[in-house]
Homo-oligomer: A and B are copies of this chain.
Amino acid sequence: MNQKEEVCQHKMLVTRDVLEVIQGKWRIPIIVALTFGNKRFGELQRDIVDISPKMLSQELKVLETNKIIKRKLYDSMPVTVEYSLTPLGLSMKKLLDEILDWGVHFRKEIIGK
**A108 CB to nearest B CB, Å:** 10
A-to-B contact residues, CB < 8 Å? 4-5, 8-9, 11-12, 14-19, 21-25, 28-29, 32-33, 36, 47-49, 66-67, 88, 91-92, 94-96, 98-107, 109-110
Q: Are A12's CB and B102's CB within 8 A?
A: no
Q: Are A67's CB and B110's CB within 8 A?
A: yes
Given A18-B106, A23-B24, A88-B109, do A100 and B48 touch, yes or no (CB 8 Å)?
no
CA distance A11 to B48 in the complex (A): 11
Q: Are A110's CB and B66's CB within 8 A?
A: yes
How many monomers of this protein are in the complex? Answer: 2
Q: List 26 A-B contacts (CB under 8 A).
A: A8-B33, A8-B36, A9-B47, A12-B29, A12-B32, A12-B49, A14-B100, A14-B107, A15-B28, A15-B29, A15-B32, A15-B96, A15-B99, A17-B103, A17-B107, A19-B22, A19-B25, A19-B28, A66-B110, A67-B109, A67-B110, A88-B105, A88-B106, A91-B105, A94-B98, A94-B102
